[in-house]
Chain A
């Protein structure tokens, strides 16, 4: 069965520090992978997606993610975190066949210290 694991429930970083949020997936075929961000009281905004091609994908707000098939991972990175990045981040894998389905991880809540 398809699943997504985000091992870190909460992460705290200092402003200006680098960030890596982990995501591991379980999916039998070539995965379609997504990172979404949710600011407090808001809906989900797409940060970036991987469908095929270059395994390093660039997203909005200075985020990037790298797809590593051998590790079943799709970790999200940012070289220098801003206070406005404090939010909850969700990794998702997309499954086709029948209907277009997204399976979400439990999320990682990011706090940023000044």
Chain B
């Protein structure tokens, strides 16, 4: 089982460039999430989608946009990348419960 798949795994951008991080899950989960992980700060929620067709802001949404393309896919877009957005990004999904399943992450560096 693939579970939650994130692409790309690594990316280097220049300040001001745009990029979309892709996430797909094959578990028929309703809810999907995007987190960022920074040293000493754990995981912080950027955006979430409780169900297909809905998206909402999390704790740190500034500088990001999301699209819930269908039930399987939830993308995260950086319109104008900034060095402060250098981080590891994780996508997760869950059914009706709190039990979230995580992808392997995208390591993003912005120069």
> Across the two chains, which residue of chain A brings its CB closest to B43?
A104
- When chains A and B are docked, how far (Å) is the Cα of A49 from the Cα of B4? 20
Q: What sequence of 0s and 1s flags, for each residue 91-107 of chain A, a beta carbon within 8 Å of any chain B beta carbon?
A: 00010100111101111
Chain B residues closer than 8 Å to A44, beta-carbon distance: 43, 90, 92, 102
- CB-CB contacts below 8 Å: A53-109 with B: 90, 94, 96, 99-102, 104-107
User: By the criterion CB–CB under 8 Å, are A106 and B42 in contact?
Assistant: yes
Range of interface residues on A (Cβ < 8 Å): 20 to 34
User: By the criterion CB–CB under 8 Å, are B98 and A94 in contact?
Assistant: yes
User: By the criterion CB–CB under 8 Å, are A43 and B104 in contact?
Assistant: yes
Known contacts A32-B98, A100-B31, A102-B98: A43-B42 contact under CB 8 Å: no
Q: Which of B40, B56, B105 contacts A43 (CB 8 A)?
A: B105
- CB-CB contacts below 8 Å: B69-90 with A: 90
B50 adjacent to chain A (CB < 8 Å): yes
Chain B residues closer than 8 Å to A41, beta-carbon distance: 104-105
Consensus secondary structure, chain A interface: strand
- When chains A and B are docked, how far (Å) is the Cα of A34 from the Cα of B96? 16
- When chains A and B are docked, how far (Å) is the Cα of A101 from the Cα of B92? 11
- Please name 25 pairs of A and B residues whose Cβ atoms are closer than 8 Å in the assembled complex, sorted by A: A34-B98, A41-B105, A42-B104, A44-B90, A44-B92, A44-B102, A45-B102, A46-B99, A90-B42, A90-B43, A94-B98, A99-B31, A99-B48, A99-B50, A99-B56, A100-B31, A100-B100, A102-B45, A102-B98, A102-B100, A104-B44, A105-B42, A106-B41, A106-B42, A107-B42
Q: Chain A: residues with CB nearer than 8 A to chain B?
A: 4, 9, 32, 34, 36, 41-46, 49, 90, 94, 96, 99-102, 104-107
| Known pairs A9-B40, A90-B43 / 17 extra A-B pairs, C-beta < 8 Å | A32-B98, A34-B98, A41-B104, A43-B102, A43-B105, A44-B92, A46-B99, A46-B101, A96-B98, A100-B97, A102-B43, A102-B45, A102-B100, A104-B42, A104-B43, A106-B42, A107-B42
